[in-house]
Structure 1
């Protein structure tokens, strides 16, 4: 099931088709961002690729703004989210950059020999929770089984957008949710149709 990379409706409908159960959505809301953060924290152990221009270590948090692999990952996500939604995407981008700063703070305060173990434990807990959500509640394999990269790219923004919509009624632009509902329904119909076909064959 493909989707245009810069089409927010297609991206949301793709990911939403794998997350229609409320319990599964809640599990992902709690666990997706910790997965991203711990990946970024692990990447913060890599050597610096350069230095910030006009660097001043006396400024708060500047010591944690290291241009290593964690910055590359965070900046990529931040730029992508800002590009697909100039409103909430800015918030998502800011969260990504906070993960960069927090990840480097973690790496600088924790020896790698212990830090990677914390990351692995957190990843195991978070992934186990998500597999439970899909296996018991959603009863559908995770999105990454069909498109690994797209699922990882869409997941963090999906849960943030879901929270913003539920809590504040946020809509990226007028008609967004109506359009997504149509595409999401079509994706689910296609999935259930293919499932019935595979059972009958």
Structure 2
């Protein structure tokens, strides 16, 4: 004879089995794989800012997975397209915010980062100008 209430073992097993077969749980798919790759990439670039970017990537994957499950594919892709346009704008703004962090607050992932990047930018510009000049000549 089984116990009832809190001590009903069959009830707990049934709940566990139903919960873990629930399709609303996140599905590990190619989206998840690419999310992890991006998250690790950002963390390798810079531990502090990259960790934040990694958390945002994972949060976006979780949200997108839940959205796809809730809305279904036929509507979810339209919402995702709108989100991509919105997020593309956000990315543009994010790059601006990173520049503000560098210029106003003098944030650098490591000492000398900004000077090194500026020197590389100048070298790239010089190389492009030389290639352009060779094409004209």
TM-score using structure 2 length: 0.64
The residue that corresponds to 2:111 in the other structure is 174
Q: Using a 3 Å threshold, how does the CA distance of structure 1 residues 180 and 117 change in structure 2: closer, same or farther?
A: same
Partner of 1:86: 47
- Distance in 1, Cα, partners of 2:55 & 2:86: 25
The alpha-carbon distance between structure 1 residues 66 and 170, as it changes in their structure 2 partners (threshold 3 A), is farther
Task: Indicate how the Cα distance of structure 1 residues 163 and 97 shifts in structure 2: closer, same or farther if over 3 A, else same.
Answer: farther
Task: State the distance in 1 between where 2:55 and 2:104 align.
Answer: 19
Q: Distance in 2 between matches of 1:92 and 1:188?
A: 29
Q: Is the 8 A contact 1:64 1:102 kept in 2?
A: no
- Say how many residue pairs are matched: 112
Task: Write the distance in 2 (CA, Å) between the matches of 1:110 and 1:170.
Answer: 41
Alignment TM-score, normalising by the size of structure 1: 0.46
SS of residue in 1 equivalent to 2:47: coil
Looking at secondary structure, tell me which structure has more helix per residue.
Answer: 2
Structure 2 residue runs of 5 or longer lacking an equivalent are 1-18
Pairwise CA RMSD: 3.1
Could you say which residue in structure 1 is the equivalent of 2:130? 193
* 2-structure distance, mates of 1:96, 1:126: 12
Q: Which residue of 1 aligns with 2:12?
A: none
Q: Please say which structure displays the higher CA radius of gyration.
A: 2
- Where 2:107 maps in the other structure, the secondary structure is coil
Give structure 1 stretches of 5+ with no counterpart: 1-56, 58-62, 130-154
Q: In the TM superposition, what is the alpha-carbon distance from 1:118 to its structure 2 partner?
A: 3.5
CA contact (8 A) 1:70 1:103 kept: no
Tell me what 1:110 maps to: 71
